[in-house]
Structure 1
Amino acid sequence: MTKIKSSRVLITGGASGIGRLMGKKVLEKGGELIIWDLNGKKLKETQDQLKACGEVHAFEIDITKQQDVKELAAKIKAEIGPVDILINNAGIVYGGNFHESTPDAINKTMAVNALAPMHLTQEFLPGMISRKFGHICNIASSAGLVSNPKMAIYAGSKWACTGWSDSLRLEMKALKAGVHVTTVTPYYINTGMFDGVKSFIPILKEEKVASKVIKAIENNRIFLSMPWSMRFVRFSQGLFPIWFYDWFVGKVLGVYKTMDEFKGRNNN
């Protein structure tokens, strides 16, 4: 079990969506909360909303800027204290066919979704190992398991995150480091990030996702996939021929059409 009470928890993308909801649950369980976000206005609003629930530290930062991450991490360790639980939650998505994508969209998506979690973890993981206590939770995506048209860059970033996250878990296990790693692979969540998506499979409610992630951290879950049917994805990919898998996922479930009317939100 990972105790949240009296633990110091850092959540990236903590000013909105499931980040804010997870932050509230951390405070309700007696944890100390640190939130990082790019949106200064939402950050201040979230801090004001949550401070009645407990101790909240809020920092505006672009997590794609590695030097800024290093400096802020050092500041937190020196002035607030060591981070016990890191939730790499921040993410962005650009929709559309890959050949129409811009280099900026590619670089930004990989920087936020794949590289930033690695750089943040490098800043706080050594301290966790030295204390033999800690937890890294990486919010990946079902797109880190399932290929999908019109989200190739996003899927690529989340495949990278998923592979890195579970490899890190195996390293921590081999070292008997006392640090747990949870990889979360949810389907679409109704946070606004995927506005316009049409899906036969029900879109997840952010409150339920936030609750399940916090519970997964407490229970040291290795993988948390939502909905439950996502657990069978890799099994199905290995069992069935690709043509049959494509037919069932693409035609029967309609997953390959979900991004056709994607609008999303402004990533600038």
Structure 2
Amino acid sequence: MAEFSRIFKGIVGIISLLLFAVFEIVRAILLIFVPASYEPVKTVAGEIVLVTGAGSGLGRQLAIRLAKKQAKVVIWDINVKGLEETHKMIKDVGGIVHSYKCDLTNREEIYQVAEKVKKDVGDVTILVNNAGVVSGYFVLDTPDHLIQRTFDVNSLALFWTAKAFMPKMIENNRGHVVTIASMAGQMACPKLCDYSASKYAAYGFDEGLRLDLEAKGITGVKTTVICPMFIAQTGMFDDVVTRSRRLSVDEVADRTILGILREDIVVMIPTSLRLTFWLKWLVPWSVVSKLMIGLVPDAVPKPGSHMKY
């Protein structure tokens, strides 16, 4: 009898999951045809938003846009000069901004600066983990300390900032964690082995964090992962040799802000690149290899020249 009950419950569980899956798939298909202007968006006015790597590039543009939307912006970077420039730009548009120098390779410094932010500004409600770094060598030519640095900034820092700011979000059942990953975290490229691996980890971090929250029944804390293709004007991939279109900083910043306001789960930029995710599992590896090497003949023509965040 007990065995029959176990099997029965298993069958009911499978049927329930299938019905739920069909409902969600149909809903997702219908939402494709809903104009973006009709989709619900939230406001960030009055929110305390922390953006890491805000001293230049995408982080700077995200911070400025969020400030224009009346968020209280906290900016972190290791580059003091860039930090000061971003601070001034935000002030010039009438925004509220607090800036802090922080080395994201140093876990204890992250925790210390986080405590200072809580004391000076308040509890962060939207955390944007934007900072990133690239080495730009074939893996066997990459010095050990650069591999370590890549993972410290692109992957491990995500855990330390989350542990610093999420407890209050969870306590209040209100918050949003945004992870800037990369399409390189979906499909790797030559010369980007450590970078791609760290961005795969970033994507996995977001997915695992979201599952942790759902398993605990925490519905008010959202997560969003952003996966853009190569972005021009950030200092990381300005001279990349690629047959794909390079994205502008403004384009990625605008789409990221929309993703935050709509609380999207995954944002791939451009959207058409979603197809590559499925292609990877549907065709032989020889095809994937030929595609990626042909699409990106040289991701970093000047190795070691873009190691910043």
TM-score of the two chains, using structure 2 as the length reference = 0.82
Task: Tell me how many residue pairs correspond in the alignment.
Answer: 265
Helix, strand or coil: the match of 2:177? Answer: strand
Helix, strand or coil: the match of 2:51? Answer: strand
Q: Counterpart in 1 of 2:66?
A: 26
Q: Counterpart in 2 of 1:7?
A: 47
Task: Report the Cα distance in structure 1 between the residues aligned to 2:249 and 2:269, rounded to whole angstroms.
Answer: 11
Are 1:130 and 2:177 an aligned pair? no
**1:140-155 alignment runs, 5 A limit:** 140-155=181-196
Query: Does the 8 A contact of 2:132 with 2:308 survive in 1?
Result: no
Q: Where does structure 1 differ by over 6 angstroms across 4 or more consecutive aligned residues? A: none
Task: Report the Cα distance in structure 2 between the residues aligned to 1:115 and 1:12, rounded to whole angstroms.
Answer: 13
Q: Counterpart in 1 of 2:14?
A: none
Q: 1:69 aligns with which of 110, 114, 121?
A: 110
Task: Report the Cα distance in structure 1 between the residues aligned to 2:47 and 2:271, rounded to whole angstroms.
Answer: 29
- The farther-off stretch of 134-143 and 237-246 is 237-246
Helix, strand or coil: the match of 2:245? Answer: coil
Task: Report the Cα distance in structure 1 between the residues aligned to 2:196 and 2:243, rounded to whole angstroms.
Answer: 20
**Which amino acid in the other structure matches residue 109 of structure 1?**
T
Helix, strand or coil: the match of 1:185? Answer: strand
Aligned CA RMSD, in angstroms, stands at 1.5
Larger Rg: 2
Are 1:179 and 2:221 an aligned pair? yes
- The farther-off stretch of 237-246 and 8-17 is 237-246
Structure 2: tracts of 5 or more residues without a match:
1-40
**Which amino acid in the other structure matches residue 199 of structure 1?**
T
**Which amino acid in the other structure matches residue 282 of structure 2?**
L
**1:36-185 alignment runs, 5 A limit:** 36-52=76-92, 53-177=94-218, 178-185=220-227
Q: Counterpart in 2 of 1:237?
A: 280
**Which amino acid in the other structure matches residue 121 of structure 2?**
I
Query: Does the 8 A contact of 2:73 with 2:96 survive in 1?
Result: yes
Distance 1:174 1:3, change over 3 A: farther
**Which amino acid in the other structure matches residue 96 of structure 2?**
E
1:101: how far off? 0.9
TM-score of the two chains, using structure 1 as the length reference = 0.94
Query: Does the 8 A contact of 1:137 with 1:184 survive in 2?
Result: yes
Query: Does the 8 A contact of 2:133 with 2:307 survive in 1?
Result: no
- The farther-off stretch of 222-231 and 203-212 is 222-231
Query: Does the 8 A contact of 1:2 with 1:135 survive in 2?
Result: no
**Which amino acid in the other structure matches residue 156 of structure 2?**
L
Helix, strand or coil: the match of 1:184? Answer: strand
Task: Report the Cα distance in structure 1 between the residues aligned to 2:138 and 2:287, rounded to whole angstroms.
Answer: 23
1:218: how far off? 0.7
1:148: how far off? 1.1
1:266: how far off? 4.6
1:202-236 deviation line (CA, Å, top 9, x unaligned): 00000010011011011010101011222112211
**Which amino acid in the other structure matches residue 230 of structure 1?**
L
**Which amino acid in the other structure matches residue 218 of structure 1?**
L
Are 1:222 and 2:262 an aligned pair? no
Helix, strand or coil: the match of 1:105? Answer: helix
Q: Counterpart in 1 of 2:34?
A: none
Q: Counterpart in 1 of 2:19?
A: none
Distance 1:81 1:266, change over 3 A: same
Task: Report the Cα distance in structure 1 between the residues aligned to 2:208 and 2:292, rounded to whole angstroms.
Answer: 27
Structure 1: tracts of 5 or more residues without a match:
none
1:65: how far off? 0.9
Task: Report the Cα distance in structure 2 between the residues aligned to 1:262 and 1:222, rounded to whole angstroms.
Answer: 34
Helix, strand or coil: the match of 2:213? Answer: helix
Task: Report the Cα distance in structure 1 between the residues aligned to 2:99 and 2:292, rounded to whole angstroms.
Answer: 41
